[in-house]
Amino acid sequence: MSREQTVAEAGDRAIGFWVKLTSGEATDADHAACAAWRAADPAHEHAWARLQQGLSQSVGRLESVMKNEHHALRRTLVRPARRRVLLNAAALAGAAAAGGWVANRISPLGNLTADLGTATGERRTYTLPDGSLLTLDARSRVDLDFTADARSVRLLEGALVVQPRTGLTAMFAVHTAHGQVRSAGAGCMVRLEEEASLAVALQSSVEVLPRDASPLTLAMGQGARFGAAWADRPQAMEDAASWREGWLKVRDQPLGEIAAALASYRTGVLRVSPQAARLAVSGLYPLDDTDRALSALEHTLPITVSRYTRWLTLIDVRPA
């Protein structure tokens, strides 16, 4: 296992312990397990300390946002019709009651243990130690690894576009759970999905190296999904990075994928029924105004969009 993977796993485990210990349901055994885990490895204690530091830096911003959201949520919960709908969404109701769900939807908890990360609805560009430019999509996070002999980032969640600085000896690498994407200087986009990674060459060509499969080369405008032991054939995907300008440009993509992209720009839950998720979508949709995007989808597709405050939106096929 690489050092980056070890650090990422320690960060995720630290978050898991923190969520459990602050849930109000933690037992003495839970506290003992956390203490034992922290003592077992200096990397574990470092991850825990880093999480606590991140929490202390974030608490002021979260408190100001959550104070306003608490009153809106309470007004919703005291209305019987709305309360029944929200109580049926057990995962949402349970997590929101503890407060952790609200905080995570505003700013992902995973950002607290990552080197760089973005909040819900936020896109941000960074200058990396080697002078390369990195743009993160909403709800994305990365760890950095820059040494005299290597320059790379590990994508832990979401999507990125990188414009590597040219003229350097070391290749620029983007690592994911499924392999890596390498470039000598060509810009590329990489997205981490649930079961695969997506790579798109925005300039010149980039190399895709699945962890346990043969590498492939993408020409400018081409993209391919890949897993640890496989890779799809390259196809035209020049619009896959349109999110950089705040737009979602799609052609014959499943509505489920569109909803997943919009969900990163909404603080509430966006759910799509299996039947609606299969509908093909083409068009241009604003990421910075997801309500307008959803209204446009509702007017062009046989679907209904039901909003239960900002915290829950359901998409389903329109009744015949």
**What pLDDT sits at residue 107?**
75
**What pLDDT sits at residue 75?**
46
Question: What is the domain extent for residue 203?
Answer: 116-236
Domain count, the chain: 3
**What pLDDT sits at residue 202?**
97
* Residue that finishes a domain, picked among 236, 266, 283: 236
* Residue 37 shares a structural domain with residue 148: no
* Residue 216 shares a structural domain with residue 268: no
Does any domain span residue 96?
A: no
* Residue 144 shares a structural domain with residue 253: no
* Residue that finishes a domain, picked among 236, 268, 283: 236
Give the pair of three-digit tokens for residue 291: 């309500």
**What pLDDT sits at residue 2?**
56
58 Cβ contact list (under 8 Å, min separation 6): 107, 112
Alpha carbon separation from 254 to 59, 119, 153 (Å, rounded):
38, 25, 29
Does any domain span residue 181?
A: yes
What's the CA gap between 16 and 126, in Å, rounded? 28
Which amino acid appears at position 28 of this protein?
D
**What pLDDT sits at residue 94?**
43
* Residue 302 shares a structural domain with residue 218: no
**What pLDDT sits at residue 164?**
96
Does any domain span residue 141?
A: yes
Does any domain span residue 81?
A: no
* Residue 299 shares a structural domain with residue 195: no
* Residue 261 shares a structural domain with residue 186: no
Residue with tokens 């309470």: 74
In sequence order, the β-bridge partners of residue 190 are 160, 199
Does any domain span residue 144?
A: yes
212-268, pLDDT tens digit by residue?
A: 999 999 999 999 999 999 999 999 998 999 999 999 999 999 999 999 999 999 988
316 Cβ contact list (under 8 Å, min separation 6): 272, 273, 275, 276, 303, 304, 306
* Residue 169 shares a structural domain with residue 262: no
Does any domain span residue 218?
A: yes
* Residue 251 shares a structural domain with residue 275: yes
User: Do 58 and 107 form a contact (C-beta atoms < 8 A)?
Assistant: yes
Number of H helices, E strands in the chain: 9, 19
**What pLDDT sits at residue 303?**
97
Residues of the chain with pLDDT under 50: 58-98
Does any domain span residue 282?
A: yes
125-162 CB burial, b ≥16 within 10 A, e <16: ebebeeebebbbbbbbbbbbbeeeeebbbbbbbbbbbb
- The length of the chain, given as a count of residues: 320
* Residue 209 shares a structural domain with residue 256: no
Question: pTM score > 0.85 for this model?
Answer: no
